[in-house]
């Protein structure tokens, strides 16, 4: 194995030197236009009895890509991609009187190139001297620098490693070939820091193989090689010696290994490896040493020894180009020896192996501390301590032993006794080696409980475990095991305590029988809390394989009875489930499904077809019942699903649906109609935070389409609806929504909202979407309203008694927020105007009657008023609330808690005759005595108005206000100034001058 890189590098350089020189001479007349050539010739003096015609061949700027393409048309091209310019200078002597004697020809000259590209191998400053004389070709002065183009898309760890390593390597050497008569090849090659990957890719191209993941590392060392040209493929005739060293051998981001052999040689038919060592600079604890001797002739005796510590199997698996999850994972310690004679099929392998945690083909084998013995008749693997009489109950793999016999016709395995995975396997088997024989498998097992690391629909890694018992009697013809038509037998398996992750699935009994022309599968069991029955029958035709069968069985009848939805969801990995909320789903699923298909037809001719009826009963999420029963009739053809009908109750209403969907492309259409569903319960399935803030009944029609997200377009009608505690009455709007199955993110836009609320009209638009923070949502909305009876609005929202007084408002509201979980996350602003309202309709004014004069508030009509404020921190802040009429003046500011409707408001209320002339006279009378503060002036005016102005604190709720009288003297100056100027309509500039009469006309 260590000789391969050097061998291919040697072949590459020799081929370049010899091939370019010889081919140029043979095809010079056929490649006219590819290069510019000059040649001069003359008859040379005789050498002995031979007369020579000597010619100088000088070829400059040869395009090797075009040359190779022309040669390929002649059938002698090199099957690799090559680019570059080559120059050749040859002196050619042709024996005129010995044309047929190959030993008489003379060639000598140089092949040079500043840059050649062979696949991913870059040769820089390439030069080689070539000489042919007396039937011997000598290639010497071989010099080249090997480089590799920059790799893209490699992991950071690999990129860093490559940046630290030299990308340019050098190759030098010489070779001699005995051509006439055919003799030996004798070569010497030196390499320094040559990258493995381009050589590896070149070799794969020549072998027509593909390897997507790059092989990293550099090779340095020297190679001595001698072999007969006629039998160069026979390794037994080689004489070679190498001390090549490989540094940083790895694939992808795997741990790099350094391979340093002291000496590997082949001589006299014997292969020797004195001391091959494997280490890693990134893992000092890793080490492996191998030494061995193999006779390639006669009895083929061999002797090997290996000792390794902390050897990572996944690294070796990846270097070999395989997937660790399908082969081996874990670190192992090995101490083993092997000897024997391959010619007589005798061997003796024994040693010890240990691993803290070993996984093979995705199956966990756990702790390994075992000794093994393997010869031509017996196999035994046993724990180390059990050999000394101690029980090892802590091991998954207990003991394996078997006898076997190997012949030219078959391999017989008998007395199989394996104790592993908590159970036992017994029986015998035979493997046919002759095409006329048949392989047989007769095994029984009980109590096996392996743990398998698998992938669930390629979405996530899961751990699957079960306790298995059963037996198999199966006969297979020698050759292609995948062919099903010539096989026969029975398989009976019982799986108990099936678990996916930590979720308990149940138990299953499986029986498979194969006779001449039919395969049957029957399964029944208790899975996910319900009963499952499967019956499969397939006609087996000539040439049919297992793959044909599993892709399209002829017929499958599947019955599911009352499977529990919560147990189904519990088996879904967390990384697959869109939201943890769906683990709260409860209910039962039942179905009758019939699949049909033609096993020997192409997928496009006869795809899977099925018909099924599905019942979903008592579906709930947490404590919210979503449906008592939902029925569906579905047909499938390949990946296309046709939903003929879905109907049932949902969220205390009705839902129907029909449409078509492609499961592979996640695209299709679905028409859904809901009637009188409860808003809170129906939205609970999508967002719990939104559902808590929406009440009422919803109806609508929606058209769903798919793609990366499921999109819905339609119309919604709401009745008796509340949003965030605010009644919106009966409304209708357009809907545009989307839901991402991958991320669980959603959004919904409500356009052209129109509705009737509190005997008025409501208009607006809103958009809500899921937040990046769990259990929260974002909101952006704008609203306007006309002639809304705010007394009824407050009564409906707060639960108080409705008033017969009339109070109408109009205005606007903006409401928004990000990451909304409660009222405190809302922000917005509002602005309203009162028009034609009765004073008794305003919360708190009726309770203020007892503090005022004889004028009854019930008879006062408010001509104008305004209310402005903002929403933030869970409160509605009233920046200004002013009412004005000839008999009533009011000013207020404060807060209302959104979650409880509790008020914290201060207000000033005045009743009486507020004609301008009377107020001016009172104002002049009060201000004529001396300069007063705003509060003192307001108190004086109140005294002149018979004490009909009060200052109160308003508490309680909107439905049940509580008033507390406060002295006017505690009123703030700025408030008093505002009341005098803005509410009473008097000029407060006099308060800052000594004489108020100075301001009069």
Q: Map 442-488 to HEC letters.
A: EEEEEEECCEEEEEECCCEEEEEEEEEEEEEEEEEECCCCCECCCCE
Q: Is residue 66 part of a domain?
A: yes
How high is the pLDDT of residue 518?
A: 87
How high is the pLDDT of residue 1001?
A: 35
How high is the pLDDT of residue 759?
A: 80
Is 349:374 a contact under the CB 8 Å cutoff?
yes
Cα 351 to Cα 304, 336, 652: the distances in Å are 12, 4, 71
Instruction: Return the residue matching tokens 């024989």.
Output: 437
Q: Is residue 107 part of a domain?
A: yes
Degrees to nearest 5, angle at CA 871 with 868 and 874? 140
- State the SS3 of 603-616: CCCCCCEEEEEEEE
Degrees to nearest 5, angle at CA 334 with 328 and 335? 155
Is 195:168 a contact under the CB 8 Å cutoff?
no
Helix (H, G, I), strand (E, B) or coil at 917: helix
How high is the pLDDT of residue 34?
A: 34
Q: Is residue 6 part of a domain?
A: no
Q: Is residue 129 part of a domain?
A: yes
How high is the pLDDT of residue 148?
A: 55
Rounded distance between C-alpha atoms, residue 800 and residue 846, angstroms = 14
From 191, 215, 237, give the residue that closes a domain.
237
Instruction: Extract the tokens encoding 323.
Output: 């997937």
Q: What is the pTM of this model?
A: 0.60
Rounded distance between C-alpha atoms, residue 938 and residue 951, angstroms = 11
Q: Is residue 626 part of a domain?
A: no
Is 629:648 a contact under the CB 8 Å cutoff?
yes
How high is the pLDDT of residue 660?
A: 93
Q: Is residue 972 part of a domain?
A: yes
Residue 862: give the domain boundaries: 808-984
Task: Collect all residues with Cβ–Cβ distance below 8 Å to 11 and sequence separation of at least 6.
Answer: none
Q: Is residue 506 part of a domain?
A: no
Render pLDDT for 872-896 as a digit per residue (tens, 0 to 9).
998 999 998 888 777 777 888 899 9
Which stretches in the chain have pLDDT values below 50? 1-39, 76, 149-166, 600-604, 802, 804, 917, 929-930, 944, 946, 990-1001
Question: Length of the chain in residues, anyone?
Answer: 1001
Q: Classify residue 74 as left (phi > 0), alpha (psi -120 to 50) or beta.
A: alpha
How high is the pLDDT of residue 7?
A: 40
Instruction: Extract the tokens encoding 107.
Output: 């060639």
Q: Is residue 851 part of a domain?
A: yes
Domain count for the chain: 2
């Amino acid at each position: 194995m260590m000789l391969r890189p050097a061998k291919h590098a040697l072949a590459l350089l020799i081929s370049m030197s010899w091939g370019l020189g010889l081919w140029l001479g043979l095809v010079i007349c056929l490649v006219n236009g590819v290069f510019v050539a000059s040649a001069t010739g003359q008859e040379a003096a005789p050498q002995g009895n031979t007369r020579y015609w000597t010619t100088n061949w000088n070829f400059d700027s040869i395009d090797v890509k075009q040359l190779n393409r022309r040669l390929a048309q002649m059938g002698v091209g090199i099957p690799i991609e090559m680019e570059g310019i080559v120059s050749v200078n040859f002196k050619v002597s042709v024996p005129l009187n010995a044309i047929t004697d190959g030993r008489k020809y003379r060639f000598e000259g140089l092949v040079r190139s500043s840059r050649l590209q062979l696949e991913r191998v870059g040769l820089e400053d390439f030069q080689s001297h070539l000489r042919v004389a007396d039937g011997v070709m000598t290639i010497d002065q071989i010099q080249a620098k090997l480089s590799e183009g920059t790799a893209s898309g490699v992991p950071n760890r690999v990129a860093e490693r490559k940046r630290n390593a030299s990308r340019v390597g050098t190759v030098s050497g010489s070779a001699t070939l005995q051509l006439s008569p055919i003799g030996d090849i004798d070569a010497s090659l030196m390499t320094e820091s040559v990258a493995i990957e381009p050589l590896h890719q070149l070799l794969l191209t020549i072998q027509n193989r593909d390897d997507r993941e790059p092989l990293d590392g550099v090779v340095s060392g020297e190679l001595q090689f001698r072999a007969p040209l006629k039998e160069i493929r026979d390794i037994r005739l080689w004489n070679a010696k190498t001390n090549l060293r490989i540094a940083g051998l790895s694939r992808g981001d795997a741990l790099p290994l350094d391979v340093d052999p002291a000496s590997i040689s082949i001589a006299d038919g014997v292969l020797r490896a004195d001391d091959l060592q494997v280490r890693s600079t990134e893992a000092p604890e890793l080490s492996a040493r191998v030494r061995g001797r193999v006779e390639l002739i006669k009895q083929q005796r061999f002797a090997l020894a290996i000792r390794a510590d902390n050897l990572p199997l996944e690294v070796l698996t990846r270097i070999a180009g395989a997937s660790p999850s399908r082969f081996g994972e874990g670190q192992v310690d090995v101490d083993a020896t092997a000897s024997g004679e391959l010619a007589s099929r005798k061997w003796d392998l024994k040693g010890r192996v240990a691993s803290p945690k070993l996984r093979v083909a995705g199956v966990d084998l756990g702790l390994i501390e075992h000794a093994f013995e393997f010869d031509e008749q017996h196999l035994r693997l046993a724990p180390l301590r059990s050999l000394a009489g101690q029980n090892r109950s802590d091991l998954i793999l207990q003991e394996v032993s078997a006898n076997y016999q190997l012949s030219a016709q078959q391999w017989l395995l008998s007395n199989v006794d394996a104790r592993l995975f908590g159970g036992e396997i017994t029986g015998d088997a035979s493997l046919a080696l002759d095409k006329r024989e048949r392989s047989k498998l007769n095994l029984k097992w009980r109590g096996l409980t392996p743990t398998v690391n698998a992938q669930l629909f390629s979405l996530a890694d899961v751990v699957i475990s079960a306790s298995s018992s059963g037996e198999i009697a199966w006969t297979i013809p020698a050759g292609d095991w995948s062919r099903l038509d010539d096989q026969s037998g029975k398989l009976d398996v019982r799986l108990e305590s099936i678990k996916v992750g930590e979720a308990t699935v149940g138990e299953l009994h499986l029986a498979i029988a194969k006779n001449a022309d039919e395969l049957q599968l029957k399964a029944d069991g208790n899975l996910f809390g319900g009963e499952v029955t499967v019956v499969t029958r397939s006609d087996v035709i000539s040439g049919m394989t297992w793959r044909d069968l599993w892709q399209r069985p002829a017929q499958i009848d599947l019955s599911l009875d009352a499977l529990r939805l919560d147990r189904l969801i519990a088996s879904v990995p967390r990384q697959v489930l869109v939201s943890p909320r769906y683990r709260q789903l409860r209910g039962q699923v039942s179905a009758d499904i019939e699949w049909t298909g033609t096993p020997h037809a192409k997928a496009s001719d006869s795809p899977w077809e099925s018909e099924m009826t599905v019942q979903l009963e008592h579906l709930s999420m947490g404590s919210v019942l979503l449906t008592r029963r939902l029925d569906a009739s579905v047909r499938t053809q390949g990946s296309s699903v046709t939903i003929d009908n879905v109907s049932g109750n949902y969220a205390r209403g009705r839902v129907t649906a029909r449409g078509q969907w492609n499961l592979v492309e996640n695209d299709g259409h679905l028409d859904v109609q809901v009637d009188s569903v409860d808003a809170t319960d129906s939205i609970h399935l999508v967002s719990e935070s939104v559902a808590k803030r929406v009440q009422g009944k919803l109806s609508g029609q929606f058209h769903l389409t798919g793609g990366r997200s499921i999109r819905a377009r339609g119309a919604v009608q709401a009745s008796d609806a509340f949003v965030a505690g605010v009644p919106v009455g009966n409304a209708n709007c357009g809907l545009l929504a989307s839901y991402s199955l991958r991320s669980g993110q959603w959004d919904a836009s409500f356009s052209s909202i129109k509705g009737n609320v509190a005997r008025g009209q409501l208009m607006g638009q809103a958009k809500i979407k899921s937040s990046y923070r769990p259990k929260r949502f974002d909101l952006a909305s704008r609203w306007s309203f006309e002639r809304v009876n705010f007394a009824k609005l407050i009564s409906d929202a707060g639960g108080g008694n409705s008033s017969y007084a009339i109070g109408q408002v109009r205005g606007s509201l903006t409401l928004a927020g990000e990451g909304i979980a409660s009222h405190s996350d809302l922000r917005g602003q509002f602005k309203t105007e009162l028009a034609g309202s009765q004073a008794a309709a305003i919360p708190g004014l009726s309770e203020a009657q007892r503090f005022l004069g004889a004028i009854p508030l019930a008879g006062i009509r408010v001509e104008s008023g305004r209310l402005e404020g903002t929403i933030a921190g869970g409160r509605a802040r009233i920046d200004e609330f002013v009412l004005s009429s000839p008999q009533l003046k009011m000013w207020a500011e404060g807060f209302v808690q959104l979650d409880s409707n509790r008020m914290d408001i201060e207000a000033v209320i005045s009743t009486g005759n507020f004609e301008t002339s009377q107020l001016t006279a009172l104002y002049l009378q009060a201000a004529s005595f001396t300069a007063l503060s705003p509060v003192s002036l307001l108190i004086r005016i109140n005294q002149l108005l018979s004490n009909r102005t009060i200052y109160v604190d308003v508490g309680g709720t909107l439905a049940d206000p509580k008033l507390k009288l406060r002295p006017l003297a505690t009123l703030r100056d700025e408030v008093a100034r505002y009341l005098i100027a803005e509410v009473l309509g008097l000029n407060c500039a006099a308060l800052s001058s000594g004489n108020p009469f100075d301001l009069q006309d």
